[in-house]
């Protein structure tokens, strides 16, 4: 009986409280009651569902960013590859500029542009290997030139590459003359940094720094290509002993032209 009285009292108290809240504070009873019921779910959403949603969204965004990054990396690699091609084209254009000018000057279809792919410099020989051969029109005794300077001649023409004997080789002999004094002789290789102008009569006049050019005598070397400059001259009883410095550094040349004397 006592318990029923307490229960009735509490029920009546909550009913009165609900009416007071409804009419004086304008808070609906159902909304108030629902707020107590929903509060645990709101907290559960706050600490469980929302973090899980944020994590899933973050993973999705991360995958999207990774995909976008991979796409940009591929685009960057493509740009780098194109940049390398352009740089190599510019480098090739720069290195062959003098050759193109030379080709325009001589206006011949028999000029063959080639790259030096190997050098053989030892006590026995001074030779180059170039990347064109008989399949490209190369023939034995064609002459290698660069910047209007004579470099050597083709001594072997294989199908895919050829061998050039350079002026510094001892077997290389070129008829030559000094441009100012017209003193004539034969250029020999010495396998050193200098050439030798031999068979110049002691009656001739030789001056230092005079330009030595090819004379065009014989069947191989054409006339008018520079060979070097007189570095030193010692007059002997019959002939001069003349040292000639080459016009070009043979080790620094990467490209050259091949021509025939005709």
The answer to whether 234 and 227 have CB atoms below 8 angstroms apart is no
Closest CA to 257 of 142, 94, 88: 142
Structure confidence at residue 44 (pLDDT): 61
Rounded average pLDDT over 49-66: 69
Structure confidence at residue 16 (pLDDT): 59
Phi, psi dihedrals of residue 100, rounded to the nearest 5°: -65, -40
Structure confidence at residue 55 (pLDDT): 64
Q: How far apart are CA 192 and CA 117, in angstroms?
A: 21
Residue 130, pLDDT above cutoff 90 = yes
Residue 197, pLDDT above cutoff 90 = yes
Taking CA atoms, 36 is separated from 15, 96, 183, in Å, by 17, 88, 119
Tell me the residue ranges of DSSP E strands in the chain. Answer: 112-121, 126-130, 143-146, 149-157, 162-166, 173-178, 184-189, 195-198, 211-215, 223-235, 240-246, 255-259
Q: How confident is the model at residue 195 (pLDDT cuts 50, 70, 90)?
A: very high
Q: How confident is the model at residue 230 (pLDDT cuts 50, 70, 90)?
A: very high
For 32-84, the three-class secondary structure string (H helix, E strand, C coil) is HHHHHHHHHHHHHHHHHHHHHHHHHHHHHHHHHHHHHHHHHHHHHHHHHHHHH
Taking CA atoms, 256 is separated from 111, 194, 252, in Å, by 10, 20, 11
β-strand pairing of 211-215 with 195-198:
unpaired
Q: How confident is the model at residue 248 (pLDDT cuts 50, 70, 90)?
A: confident
Phi, psi dihedrals of residue 218, rounded to the nearest 5°: 100, -175
Structure confidence at residue 59 (pLDDT): 67
pLDDT in tens, 14-49: 555 555 555 555 555 555 555 655 556 556 666 666
Return mean pLDDT, the chain. Answer: 78
Closest CA to 186 of 169, 170, 198: 198
pLDDT in tens, 161-188: 999 999 988 888 999 999 889 999 999 9
Residue 2, pLDDT above cutoff 80 = no
Residue 86, pLDDT above cutoff 70 = yes
Residue 144, pLDDT above cutoff 90 = yes
Q: Which of 84-88, 121-125, 160-164, 242-246 has the lowest mean pLDDT?
A: 84-88
């Amino acid at each position: 009986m006592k318990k029923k009285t307490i229960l009735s009292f509490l029920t009546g108290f909550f009913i009165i409280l609900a009416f007071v809240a409804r009419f004086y504070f304008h808070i609906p009873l159902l909304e108030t009651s629902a707020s107590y019921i929903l509060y645990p779910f709101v907290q559960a959403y706050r600490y469980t569902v929302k973090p899980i949603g944020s994590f899933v969204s973050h993973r999705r965004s991360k995958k999207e960013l990774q995909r976008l990054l991979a796409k940009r990396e591929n685009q960057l690699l493509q740009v780098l590859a194109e940049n390398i091609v352009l740089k190599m084209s510019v480098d090739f254009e720069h290195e062959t500029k003098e050759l193109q000018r030379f080709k325009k000057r001589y206006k011949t279809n028999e000029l063959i542009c080639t790259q030096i792919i190997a050098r053989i410099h030892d006590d026995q020989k001074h030779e180059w290997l170039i990347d064109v051969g008989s399949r490209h029109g190369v023939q034995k005794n064609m002459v290698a030139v660069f910047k209007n300077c004579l470099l050597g001649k083709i001594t072997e023409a294989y199908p895919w590459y050829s061998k050039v004997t350079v002026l510094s080789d001892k077997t290389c002999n070129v008829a030559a003359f000094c441009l100012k004094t017209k003193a004539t002789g034969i250029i020999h290789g010495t396998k050193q940094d200098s050439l030798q102008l031999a068979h110049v009569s002691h009656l001739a006049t030789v001056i230092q720094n005079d330009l030595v050019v090819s004379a065009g005598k014989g069947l191989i070397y054409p006339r008018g290509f520079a060979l070097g400059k007189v570095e030193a001259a010692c007059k002997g009883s019959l002939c001069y002993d003349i040292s000639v410095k080459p016009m070009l550094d043979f080790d620094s040349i990467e490209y050259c032209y091949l021509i025939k004397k005709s």
